[in-house]
Amino acid sequence: MRTEFLIATNGFESTWPAIEYGAWAAASLDAPVTLLGIAEHLPSAPIDDKYPLEDIFARAVELFRQKGITYWLEIQNGNAEEVIPRLAKQKDCITVVGPLGRPPLRRLLVRRSIHHLMSEISTPILYVPQARIPLKKMLICLGGLGYEITAEHLAARVGVMSKAEVTLLHVAPPVDLDYPTARAEREQWRDLMNTDTLPGRNLRQALETARGAGLAASVKTRQGNVVEEILAEIKEGNYDLVCMGSQYSAHSLRRMYAANVTGEVAESAHCPILTARYVPE
């Protein structure tokens, strides 16, 4: 995939960290940017008309120019949750978005917008509630099924540019079923990388890939509720970026009943989350 960034804003100040972080990432990867402004509940208008996007666009353009980024500006009228996926489907890009300033009651009823965006956008998404720059510590979450491979490879590119320290995390969930693979993971989770289980093999491969890319990488395992353990690790490790696979990597009924771990983590974490669906090479 040719790296290109689609950074979205609806004018709310809460989207500025996504613009700032997206500009940093684009400059690091020498990638072009399209800044998408969504004029919600307003008629389409030229960029120099007075409406909520004006100030944030002006700041963004100045930032892009300072960083020497090639950029394009686009404004569309409509609801952000509908406009962003529509534009993302037209580009082979990384979509960068932050909290869209939705009222608490709406978030309670329909959850944060990131859940909808993950279901509609098949290309990588960078969700930025806070811009953690410079990137010094990165957490890559390995689910054991290989769905995180695309996100892992993309994260490695960013990590190499920043010379970031990388931790590869696998959380062994509580398992009640008693069959050999589940039993091995449950009983040997502290030394999982040295087992002949699928998660163990994936950990070894991920560590080899990260170190082969020149990253200082290590492995960590935890056991318990997957979302709770990932959030605990993020807090304890004070990571600047978290990389995860997507529930929507599964093209089967599995994703209909599997928990959306990435969406749950994105709702609660206070650092950027990079997620990408698995794309077979």
For residue 125, what pLDDT is reported?
93
Amino acid letter, residue 106: R
| pLDDT of residue 257 exceeding 70 | no
Which range (64-73, 93-102, 108-117, 173-182) has the least confidence?
Answer: 173-182
Residue 241's closest CA among 152, 163, 135? Answer: 135
For residue 146, what pLDDT is reported?
47
| pLDDT of residue 10 exceeding 80 | yes
Q: Are residues 159 and 262 in the same domain?
A: yes
> What is the overall mean pLDDT for the chain?
83
Share of the chain above pLDDT 90, in %: 47
Q: Alpha helix (H) ranges present in the chain?
A: 16-29, 53-67, 80-88, 104-110, 113-120, 149-162, 180-187, 198-212, 226-237, 254-257, 261-268
Residues 272 and 241 sit within 8 Å (Cβ to Cβ):
yes
For residue 258, what pLDDT is reported?
43
SS3 17: helix
Domain boundary among 79, 99, 127: 127
**Residue 176 region, left (φ>0) first, then alpha (ψ -120 to 50), else beta?**
alpha
Residue for token digits 């969406």?
Answer: 263
For residue 259, what pLDDT is reported?
52
Which range (26-40, 69-83, 156-170) has the least confidence?
Answer: 156-170
Confidence of residue 138 (pLDDT cuts 50, 70, 90): very high
| pLDDT of residue 136 exceeding 50 | yes
Return the structure tokens found at 243.
């990389």
For the segment 210-233, what is each residue's pLDDT rounded down to a tens digit?
888 888 999 999 988 889 999 999
Q: Are residues 147 and 262 in the same domain?
A: yes
Q: Are residues 141 and 271 in the same domain?
A: yes
Q: Are residues 111 and 10 in the same domain?
A: yes
Return the structure tokens found at 97.
């978005």
69: CATH: 3.40.50.620
Q: What are the Cα distances from residue 210, in Å, to 16, 72, 214, 216?
A: 31, 33, 7, 8
Q: Are residues 121 and 149 in the same domain?
A: no
For residue 92, what pLDDT is reported?
85
Burial of 31 (C-beta count, 10 Å sphere; 0-12/13-18/19+):
middle
For the segment 164-201, what is each residue's pLDDT rounded down to a tens digit?
999 999 988 776 555 556 666 667 777 777 888 778 88
Residues 4 and 31 sit within 8 Å (Cβ to Cβ):
yes
Q: Are residues 106 and 176 in the same domain?
A: no
Residue 170's closest CA among 252, 261, 86? Answer: 261
Residue 280 lies in a domain: no
Check the CA dihedral 112-113-115-116 and report its sign.
Answer: positive
Confidence of residue 252 (pLDDT cuts 50, 70, 90): very low
For the segment 31-55, what is each residue's pLDDT rounded down to a tens digit?
999 999 999 865 444 444 456 799 9
Q: Are residues 193 and 259 in the same domain?
A: yes
Report the number of distinct structural domains present in the chain. Answer: 2
- Round to whole Å and give the CA distance between 126 and 140: 14
Q: Are residues 21 and 117 in the same domain?
A: yes
Q: Are residues 110 and 167 in the same domain?
A: no
For residues 21-36, average pLDDT: 95
pTM to 2 decimals?
0.85
Q: Are residues 268 and 141 in the same domain?
A: yes
Confidence of residue 255 (pLDDT cuts 50, 70, 90): very low
| pLDDT of residue 247 exceeding 70 | no
Q: Are residues 51 and 110 in the same domain?
A: yes
Q: Are residues 113 and 216 in the same domain?
A: no
Residue 29 lies in a domain: yes
Residues 270 and 239 sit within 8 Å (Cβ to Cβ):
no
- Round to whole Å and give the CA distance between 219 and 222: 10
